[in-house]
Amino acid sequence: MSKPIIIIGAGMVGISTAIWLQRSGHRVILMDRGNPGMGASYGNAGLIAQWAVVPVNTPSLWKDAPKYLLNPNSPLFLKWTHLPKMLPWIAKFMSNANEVDAQRMVDNLIPILTDAVDQHKSLVRGTPLEHWISNSKFSYAYNTLKDFKKDAYSWDQKARAGFIPTVLTGAQVSEAEPILGPSTQCLAVLEGQGHITNPAQYITELTYHFVSKGGQFIEAEVQDFTKTNGKITSIQTTQGPFECTHAVITAGIWSKDLMRKLGLKIPLETERGYHVIYENPSQMPRNPMMMTAGKFGVNPMDMGLRCAGTVELGDHHAGPSKQPIKLLKRYAAQAFPTLKYSSTKEWLGFRPSTPDSVPLIGEIGTSGIYTGFGHQHVGLTAGPKTGRLLAQMIDGTPPNIDMQPYAPERYLR
């Protein structure tokens, strides 16, 4: 039997990579220390955010960041005890918050995001999983038309990617989304979008599909890598050693720890994201939305109404903070003043973020070890495209986009 390719990390990027490699005729093992889809893929907003081409670190961050950090009602938080460890990453992150680098980051995000709905549909086409991709509109909700106009920089960048909204104001807002209260007086609506109604179950069923086609899923924690003449030959795990021809690291923020085992220090830090699920809600939005006042996504899901967002810079080993959840609930109450529900559930997840807001997709030198992590807020969105690109690279088929901006080498110097 031929040696397999091992994918480490069973989130959206990992399962997508496994399926595309399997379809190319490879023997594939998907490995995770827990159940599939239980990391950042579990609790995201479920948005196929192909419009999310504008990074956090735009030029305005220099004036906005101090204001956000000092404002208790701001959606940006910082675990101050972790600040000394994060300072080198923050310095690199802020150094990219200029016009030239912002344009570069947008240019690099566009190819991996803007066809994301089609990429998800391609991943599940011809399988029993096609129903997971829901077609929808997507709206940015603003308090006023003036607030929308203040967001011109972001919309100018989205327009470069082909995303131009229809703007609704006044009574048109409540006609489009009756759940919204009077605090929202402007909607910027994008047609032709999509979302997932249960990301964890979607990834679980993708894994079942992968296994049904001959793939293996193994629950194990990776302990080390073995290379021979500079090439990966096996992986040491809590379930013993596994020989392989290639390894692909798609473990989200935990990829940082795995890279250290390879002697590589990657500047990957955690944007800690939160969600609140309103169970048995009395109302649901007709389509997903982004509430710009609190910077959180809203998605009608199988388990209730999910409000997900905020950014808390901190450690991926630390537990949840109370303030981001309180803020989410406060902003949700303002946005949906007549919403009733039976109970709420809260969650914390870890978004793996690079200083240039662009993921690492590619081979580490000629080692046979590939990276597919660092997607920040867009792991669910870009997972199928990233998996396809990695499969093409392993197959020796040149992808139809320039992969140099995503090369891990940019952080291996």
HSE, side-chain direction, 13 A CA sphere, residue 363: 14
Instruction: Measure Cα distances from 64 to 60, 68, 70, 144 in Å.
Output: 6, 6, 10, 20
Region 325-331: what's the mean pLDDT? 90
List the CATH number of the domain containing 229: 3.50.50.60
Burial 280-312 (b: 16+ CB within 10 A, else e): ebebbbebbbbbbbbbbbbbbbeebbbbbbbbb
Cβ(236)–Cβ(223) under 8 Å? Answer: yes
Report the range of poorest mean pLDDT among 57-61, 115-119, 136-140, 290-294.
57-61
Quick check: 90 pLDDT over 70? yes
pLDDT tens readout for residues 254-313: 999 999 999 888 888 888 888 999 999 999 999 999 999 988 999 999 999 999 887 777
How many distinct structural domains can be found in the chain? 1
In sequence order, what are the residues at sequence separation of 6 or more whose Cβ sits closer than 8 angstroms to the Cβ of residue 95? 101, 355
3-state DSSP assignment of residue 411:
helix
CA distance 211 to 204: 11
Quick check: 128 pLDDT over 80? yes
Quick check: 77 pLDDT over 90? no
Quick check: 68 pLDDT over 70? no
- Give the Cα-Cα-Cα angle 47, 51, 56 (nearest 5 degrees): 95
pLDDT at 181: 96
Quick check: 317 pLDDT over 90? no
pLDDT at 130: 95
pLDDT tens readout for residues 181-229: 999 999 999 999 999 999 999 999 999 999 999 999 999 999 999 999 9
CA distance 148 to 264: 43
pLDDT tens readout for residues 366-408: 999 999 999 988 999 999 999 999 999 999 999 999 999 999 9
pLDDT at 70: 60
pLDDT tens readout for residues 22-35: 999 999 999 999 88
Nearest C-alpha neighbor of 394 from the set 349, 362, 346, 353: 362
- Angle, helix 12-23 to helix 199-212, in steps of 10 degrees: 30
pLDDT tens readout for residues 242-258: 999 999 999 998 999 99
Nearest C-alpha neighbor of 373 from the set 316, 308, 289, 314: 316
Residue of 189 and 316 predicted with greater confidence = 189
pLDDT at 27: 97
Quick check: 413 pLDDT over 80? no
pLDDT tens readout for residues 335-348: 999 999 999 999 88
Tally of CB atoms within 10 A around 372 = 32
* Average pLDDT across the chain, whole number: 91
Region 59-79: what's the mean pLDDT? 69
Report the range of poorest mean pLDDT among 50-54, 304-308, 314-318, 349-353.
314-318
Q: How confident is the model at residue 74 (pLDDT cuts 50, 70, 90)?
A: low
Which tokens in the block code for residue 19?
């399926």
CA distance 257 to 6: 17
Nearest C-alpha neighbor of 46 from the set 230, 179, 195, 175: 195
Quick check: 40 pLDDT over 80? no
Structural domain for 294, as ranges: 5-411
